[in-house]
């Protein structure tokens, strides 16, 4: 860890972490677009994760998410833990594309789950929240027979506007923006960079070198190693 980078984190009071699947792969959760990613192995993955599939073929949707998107034994890793520790000091906000609940398990205090959370489930008929364990046993609501669904943003669906507003406000207030484990190619998440405080340095920690069309500090490295060395 370069002393200059450590100093950026030490001095910052309003860090925003923009994170993606690369944060959770060290916890054993597959990503989406790499060689062994979820989308690579399933040609129709984007359809299976669409609103159209949910409404037209609910059994197909359920089978796909039940088999591929639930990893209840996964544990947060050092990346989640160090970021969560900074949020509990009221010095950071995490805005994540991940839907795997690991930031909640890590007790992240300021968290925006931009695409929702697989472990928050509700009935599409009555709107009642249902424990995810029940969902994995049966996708029908015991009370009224309605189809249950996870509270995530599917293809063909709009984002939660409150999450968008909170994310934009956090970016505008940031004095350090840190991109971790994401290619920043998925919109509108990638567009959050357009709302950053332009005075805030942007640090990118990623295995793949990124060109974001703006001045960045590129740390092409294993994020687990970086966060293991980071003093918080």
For residue 139, the surrounding DSSP H or E stretch is none
Among positive and negative, which fits the CA dihedral 146, 160, 12, 206? positive
Estimate to the nearest angstrom the gap between the alpha carbon of 94 and the chain centroid.
9
Alpha-carbon distance 40 to 42, whole Å?
A: 6
Please say whether the beta carbons of 31 and 21 come within 8 A: yes
Please pick, among 14, 115, 140, 141, the residue that the annotation labels catalytic.
115
As a three-state string, the secondary structure of 70-115 is: CCCCCCCCHHHHHHHHHHHCCCEEEEECCCCCHHHHCCCCCEEECC
Residue 144: exposed, middle, or buried by beta-carbon count in 10 A (0-12, 13-18, 19+)? exposed
Alpha-carbon distance 84 to 178, whole Å?
A: 14
Please say whether the beta carbons of 82 and 230 come within 8 A: yes
Which tokens belong to 150?
Answer: 């996870």
Alpha-carbon distance 149 to 62, whole Å?
A: 8
Alpha-carbon distance 128 to 126, whole Å?
A: 6
**Is 115 designated active site?**
yes
Q: Which residues are catalytic?
A: 115
């Amino acid at each position: 860890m370069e002393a200059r980078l450590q100093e950026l984190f030490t001095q910052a009071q309003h860090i925003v972490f923009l994170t993606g699947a690369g944060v959770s792969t060290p916890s054993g959760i597959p990503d989406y677009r790499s060689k062994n990613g979820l989308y690579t192995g399933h040609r129709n993955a984007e359809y299976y994760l669409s609103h159209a599939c949910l409404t037209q073929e609910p059994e197909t949707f359920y089978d796909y998410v039940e088999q591929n998107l639930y990893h209840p034994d996964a544990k947060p890793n050092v990346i989640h833990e160090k970021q969560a520790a900074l949020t509990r000091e009221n010095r950071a906000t995490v805005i994540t594309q991940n839907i795997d609940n690991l930031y909640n398990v890590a007790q992240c205090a300021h968290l925006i789950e931009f695409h929702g959370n697989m472990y928050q489930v509700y009935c599409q008929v009555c709107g009642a929240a249902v424990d995810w364990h029940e969902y994995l046993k049966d996708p029908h609501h015991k009370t009224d027979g309605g189809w249950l669904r996870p509270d995530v943003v599917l293809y063909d669906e709009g984002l939660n506007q409150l999450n968008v507003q909170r994310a934009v406000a956090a970016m505008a207030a940031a004095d350090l923006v840190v991109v971790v484990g994401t290619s920043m190619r998925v919109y509108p998440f990638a567009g959050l960079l357009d709302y950053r405080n332009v005075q805030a340095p942007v640090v990118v920690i990623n295995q793949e070198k990124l060109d974001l069309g703006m001045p960045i500090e590129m740390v092409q490295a294993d994020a687990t190693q970086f966060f293991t060395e980071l003093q918080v």
